[in-house]
Amino acid sequence: MRRLLIFSVLICLAVVAFSLPADAAKKPIVIGFPMWLSGGGGLFGQPSAKGAEMFVQEVNERGGVLGRPVKLLVRDCKGTPEEATRVSKELILKDNVDFLVGGLSASQGLAISEVAKTEKVLYIAPISKSTRMCEPPRLHPYVFRAAANTNTEGRSAAVFMAKHPWKRIATIGPDYEYGQMCTQAFVDWIKKLKPEVEIVHQGWPKLGETDYTPYIAPCLAAKPDACFISLWGGHFVTFAKQAKPYGFFEKVKVVAAGEGGSPETAMALKDDLPLGITTNAYDVFYYPDTPEHKDYCERLKKFTGEKYAPSWAITGYVATQWLIEGIEKAGSTDTMKVIKALEGLTIQTPIGKQTMRAKDHQATRGQVWGTTAKVPEYPFPIMRPVEYIPAEDLMD
Amino acid sequence: MTLPDPSFLVIQCLNGLTYAMFLFLIASGLSLIFGVLGILNFAHGSLYMLGAYFTHQLVSLFVDTPGQFWWAVIFGSLAVAAIGVIIERFFLRPLYVREELNQLLFTYALVLIFSDFARIIWGTDQFSVSRPAILKGAVDILGQYFPKYNIVIILLGPCIAFLFWFILLHTRWGRMIRAAALDREMLGSLGVNVSRLFTVVFFVGAWMAGLGGALVSPVSAIVPGMDVEVIVNAFIVVVIGGLGSFWGTFLGALIVGQVYALGILVFPRLSLVFIYVLMALVLIIRPWGLLGRPLQKR
């Protein structure tokens, strides 16, 4: 009896063992995509998820990767790191995802990175910018960043500011990971470039503030020549609308990091978007004029059914592209092999070549910077002139 | 540190005053309902949120009507008041005889229901409403700009406060409301229709919350989660001023508004802390609030 039992268990195990590889060949590769889809972050989180969905659809249409289809599970992780932790844990434990891509705010990136470390799941951050995520002691083998980081962002703003004769400089940034790191990078870099600069005021509204008016008068009171603002997405929209009647944009030159120049922001603000401010974006559908980028924008327009290709889609698109090309190069979905494959990998993205640095798992991602202007072609302001500021020179 | 130019101090005080007027509108409704019905209405913030969303919806509906914003404010806030009446008549009424805990749980459930309701209807995007055309610009105050719309709000606050004070003190309805706050059984035995009175009070309270939300829509972002944020601040106001006290609410709102605005000017990173410290101090020294009365055993 006992022997029979052992025998049948062995048979069962053998059956399972033999059926696994056959099954695995068709089993989809599952990517968990926690993203901030609601509230002030939704303006950017939703297109980002769309970009990832489009890339995954394109991969599946050409037969998947390693002969396996790819499945993307998009989940709303709201605005907090706690929620990001909960959602990504659920994706790993309940939905058995193989990889994680996602998270929006800098603190969400750090939170998901912690989950990736403890659960030993490869994680690619498409948007989260805090430099600390890819620096010791936070850096670990399982985390990669496709996004630019706060150093690149703050420092490119500083490079721009240093070209002008502005001495008294103020900063306004959301009081959390991203705002603090970005502002710090800006302040350190501009002091290095131009030691005579004086930081006359620093405003710290909380993340998700709905009323910025109490922060506007104190900033003006310090009489700055220029102000560095790192409010992003819907937060910048709210700020711009509220600051306008105070004459803020007439009295102070504004350099705004946090994607004030993305068409999403411009469409949301229309005539309320202050003109002549310097700002940035991850991608804009009207630049650069390369065939790959044009083709990408056309595909995206078709996929989303929107009149203008959303700019933030690039974040989800490229982050998923890193993962898939990593898997392809590794020839396996084994986490450690994909990690090895990603280190030092160079890929051709719709906005040009990018390299994943082996030393800190940070992609060489720059940003598009420009000055807002009204043009006859579009019913909302765009950035003109506009240029891509590469990240290589600004990275440590 | 160097003191800023006095003109900025004035502007910042005015900013604080604008904020205070919104807080007053919302907190006075909360305080009124508690004073008369004895119910601490957690869903008051949700009514405020609905006011803002309704206004946004109506403004886009009345696009070609002159004075669209004001119509939206009137109809939006009245719609909220109507929802308030439905809540009171059909759901709260059976709960008056129950324990307070049941009532609290019920109003808390309403918070969750309304927040999901708003998410289903309006999604999770953030909205904003443009200021009405005549109030779009700014006025020059000591060389600084200050939005015209905010000035109207600052003037509106005391008007509403005065109106309510007058109604409460000098009309028959006001006397009945005050009597109901003191002893509802006695009032009922004197032949007053107490349940109708309760409905009217809840209508007015909900209407004020809706009005607060409607009027705040051009100066603040309309987002899911604004309900919880405002209810916390409204509670702070009534705790400082005294729950159930009308002028206490007014004072509490003024104090919170100014502490918040001037706090940002002095210690930008600690502005939120000041308000909580203030509340804690009031709770330690005068637990019944600055102008409230100590709770008596009924």
CB A380 within 8 A of CB A371: no
Residues whose CB falls within 8 Å of the CB of residue A263, separated by 6 or more in sequence, listed in order? A281, A284, A285, A308, A310, A311, A380, A382
* Nearest chain B residue (CA) to A42: B125
| Interface membership of B19 toward A (CB under 8 Å) | yes
For chain A, positions 168-207, list CB contacts with chain B under 8 A. Answer: 175, 202-204, 206
Residue B231 domain-assigned (yes or no): no
Residue B119 domain-assigned (yes or no): yes
* Spatial distance between the Cα atoms of A345 and A367, rounded to a whole number of angstroms: 20
Subunit contact A210:B223, Cβ cutoff 8 A: yes
Residue B248 domain-assigned (yes or no): no
Domain boundaries, chain A: 26-148+291-365, 151-281+368-394
Query: What residues of chain A lie within 8 A of the CB of B125, using their CB?
Result: 42-43
Number of structural domains found in chain B: 1
Query: pLDDT of A44-97, one tens digit each?
Result: 899 999 999 999 999 999 999 999 999 999 999 988 899 999 999 999 999 999
Instruction: Give burial (CB, 10 Å; 0-12/13-18/19+) of B178.
Output: middle
Residue B271 domain-assigned (yes or no): no
pLDDT at A14 over 60: no
Distance set, CA A214 to CA A52, A247, B9, B252 (Å): 38, 14, 11, 18
Output the CA angle B37-B42-B48, nearest 5 degrees: 100
Residue B295 domain-assigned (yes or no): no
In A133-259, which ranges are E strands? Answer: 143-145, 168-172, 198-203, 226-229, 253-256
Q: Is A41 left (phi over 0), alpha (psi -120 to 50) or beta?
A: alpha
Considering all CA atoms of chain B, what is the largest pairwise distance in Å, rounded to the nearest integer? 65
**Complex-level ipTM:** 0.73
Query: pLDDT of A165-207, one tens digit each?
Result: 999 999 999 998 889 999 999 999 999 999 999 999 999 998 8
Query: What residues of chain A lie within 8 A of the CB of B12, using their CB?
Result: 214, 217-218, 221
- Poorest-pLDDT segment among A21-35, A205-219, B96-110, B274-288: A21-35
* Spatial distance between the Cα atoms of B269 and B266, rounded to a whole number of angstroms: 9
Top pLDDT among B295 and A46 is at: A46
| Interface membership of B4 toward A (CB under 8 Å) | yes
The confidence score (pLDDT) of residue B62 equals: 83
pLDDT at B45 over 90: yes
Instruction: Give burial (CB, 10 Å; 0-12/13-18/19+) of A155.
Output: buried
Equal CATH topology for A26-148+291-365 and A151-281+368-394: yes
The confidence score (pLDDT) of residue A191 equals: 94
Residue B104 domain-assigned (yes or no): yes
Subunit contact A39:B225, Cβ cutoff 8 A: yes
* Spatial distance between the Cα atoms of A358 and A345, rounded to a whole number of angstroms: 8
Top pLDDT among B56 and B98 is at: B56
Which segment, A53-57, B68-72, B271-275, B292-296, is predicted with the most confidence on average?
A: A53-57
pLDDT at A22 over 60: no
Where residue A13 falls among pLDDT bands split at 50, 70, 90? low
Residue B267 domain-assigned (yes or no): no
Domain region containing B19: 6-224
The confidence score (pLDDT) of residue A347 equals: 95
- Poorest-pLDDT segment among A293-302, A346-355, B286-295: B286-295
Q: Which class would CATH give A26-148+291-365? A: alpha beta
Give the residue among A182, A87, A76 at the shortest CA–CA distance from A129: A182
* Spatial distance between the Cα atoms of A109 and A105, rounded to a whole number of angstroms: 6
Percent residues over pLDDT 90 in chain B: 46
Q: What is the mean pLDDT of residues A296-302?
A: 95
| Interface membership of B228 toward A (CB under 8 Å) | no
Selecting from B124, B219, B268 the residue whose C-beta is nearest the C-beta of A218 gives B268
* Spatial distance between the Cα atoms of A36 and A44, rounded to a whole number of angstroms: 8
Subunit contact B224:A221, Cβ cutoff 8 A: no
Number of other residues whose CB lies within 10 A of the CB of residue B168: 16
* Nearest chain A residue (CA) to B20: A214
Subunit contact B220:A238, Cβ cutoff 8 A: yes
pLDDT at B1 over 50: no
Query: pLDDT of A237-266, one tens digit each?
Result: 889 888 988 889 999 999 998 788 888 888
CB A53 within 8 A of CB A73: no
CB A252 within 8 A of CB A170: yes
Residue A323 belongs to what H/E stretch? Answer: helix A313-330
Selecting from A42, A76, A247 the residue whose C-beta is nearest the C-beta of B125 gives A42
Query: What residues of chain B lie within 8 A of the CB of A215, using their CB?
Result: 264, 268
CATH number given to A151-281+368-394: 3.40.50.2300
Query: pLDDT of A90-137, one tens digit each?
Result: 999 999 999 999 999 888 999 999 999 999 999 999 999 888 899 988
CB A289 within 8 A of CB A262: no
Query: pLDDT of B165-219, one tens digit each?
Result: 888 889 998 998 888 888 888 888 888 888 899 999 999 999 999 999 999 998 8
Residue B148 domain-assigned (yes or no): yes
- Which two tokens mark B183? 């002893």
For chain B, positions 104-163, list CB contacts with chain A under 8 A. Answer: 119, 123-126, 128, 131, 136-138, 144-150
